[in-house]
Structures are given as C-alpha cells and as structure tokens.
Structure 1
C-alpha cells in the first residue's frame, strides 16, 4: 500500500509541476528574473548555453534537497516529491530543448499531433520579444486550438 502512495505522490507532483511551471514562467521569468530569460526570447549569442539555462540549476535545487531529506533517516514521501520534480525536469528538457528548440536534432521530423501542437504554441509564445503580452506559458498543457490548426 505504501508503494502506491509513493507512486501517487510522484505522479501528483509531476502534474502539479505544470502549474508551477506556468506560474514561474509568467510571473518570475517574465517578471523580476527577465534578465535571465530575455536571451531566450531575443537570442544574440549563438553558443551552447544561454543565461536562461540557469533556470535548470535553480529548479534542480529543490529536487536535490528533497532527495536528500527523503532518505533521512529512512525513505519517505519527500524523496518521491523530488522524483516527480526530476521527472518533470526531464520531460521539460525533452520537450522544450530537444523537440521545440531543436538544441539536439532527435525529434526533428515528428508528425505527432500533440507534439506539433506543443511546438506551435511555443512559437506563439516566442513571437513576443518582450516580457509583456506573452501567452502559452505552460509546457505540456497548452490550449486546444494549437492542436487543430
């Protein structure tokens, strides 16, 4: 029974992370930390990394801490919250950096309607070069209209 609770905790955390991502993207990245996110919308430097990549480290810290405290003194629910955050981070990397921005050419020619819809929604997000007037701040849950276009 405990294993079902741990699996459920991981899945719920993964789902909640989409809401956390939306809020963080809209109010933090397009807010007071715009100076880190701006180069993602207005790329000037064509290197491997951009300042925006700092958010990967920022979001990894809670997961790492939850893993640490989730095994102290024995395995507990904090570990599985950290696991949910980690799994969401991996999904974010695959969707955002690999599929959408093609930082790696792994899914270049996908025809999957869902993945194509995600790509379209993100392009709409990036048509706004400034921090105001943005739309489509989520990653996995985007408006249905992008799947019908």
Structure 2
C-alpha cells in the first residue's frame, strides 16, 4: 500500500506541476521565473532556482510529520514528491538544459521529444501564450514534430 501511495503521488505531481507552472510560475510569480525564459540572470543560478526551495520546504515538513510516530501517509506522500523532484532535476536541468554535460547526444525518442516540447515552451519569452507546461508527459505532437523534421 505504501508503494502505491508513492507511485500515485509521483504521477499526480505531473498534473500539479502543469498547474503550478502555468498559473503560478507564469502568473503571480513570473518575476522569479522570467529569467529562465529570457536568460537575463548572469551566473549559474537563476531566480527561477528559488522554486527548488519553495517546493522543498513543504516536502520536508510533510516528511517530518510523516515520521513523528513511525512512518505514516505523509511520509510516503513526501517520498513521492521527493522522487518527482529528483526526476525533475535530472530531466530538466541535466537532460534538457544540460547544466551538467550528460546525455548530450542522446538518440532516445522520448528524451528528444521532451527537449523539443521544452524548446517550444521556451520560444515564448513572455508569460502569456505559453505551451507545454508539463514535464514528464509529452504530447504526441512533439514526437511527430521531431520525426517530421527527419532529425533521427
């Protein structure tokens, strides 16, 4: 049952991430997310990187309350959120934005589609008119766009 809670939380995070990205990061917290789109910050850290802390603090609190009297539901929810956060870091920062030069020349169709979808998202420099706000789920049109351009 605990494994199911972790898996369900991980999967639900994709929908939550889409909503947070579209309505919060491209909404009232755009001032923190903007430099991720227009690359206006200098150095390795962007204001956008503060979202790591914004998302980590509630997860840490959940993990704490989930271990006060043994492991309970909140611990496993926090574990699912943490695993999603690790996946996000690995895919977004390492594979997509290549902050660490790893898998740079991948031929994996899924990873190429994620890169393409993210590139489509970043073609919009303003907070309006965005597209593809999700993270791990890639609409089929991004696979088709890639194959249509004969880049494989």
**TM superposition score category, shorter chain reference:** over 0.9
Residue in 2 that maps onto 1:143: 139
Alignment map for 1:13-24 (pairs within 5 Å): 13-24=9-20
Q: Which runs of 5+ in 1 are unaligned?
A: none
Alignment gaps of 5+ in structure 2: 146-152
Q: TM-score, normalised by structure 1?
A: 0.95
Give structure 1 regions of 4+ aligned residues with deviation exceeding 3 angstroms. none
Q: Counterpart in 1 of 2:40?
A: 44
Q: Residues 7 and 80 of structure 2 are in contact (CA less than 8 Å); yes or no, is this contact kept in structure 1?
A: yes
Asked whether the equivalents of residues 27 and 127 of structure 2 are also in contact (C-alpha less than 8 Å), the reply is yes
Aligned to 2:150: none
The aligned counterpart of 2:24 is 28
CA deviation map 1:104-147 (0-9, x unaligned):
11111111000000000000000000000000000001211111
| Pairwise CA distance, 1:46 | 3.4
- Looking at structure 1, the residues matched to 60 and 143 of structure 2 have their Cα atoms a distance apart, in angstroms, of 35
- Aligned twin of 2:100: 104
CA RMSD of aligned residues (A): 0.7
User: In structure 1, the residue corresponding to 2:99 is in which secondary structure?
Assistant: coil
Shift of 1:63: 1.1
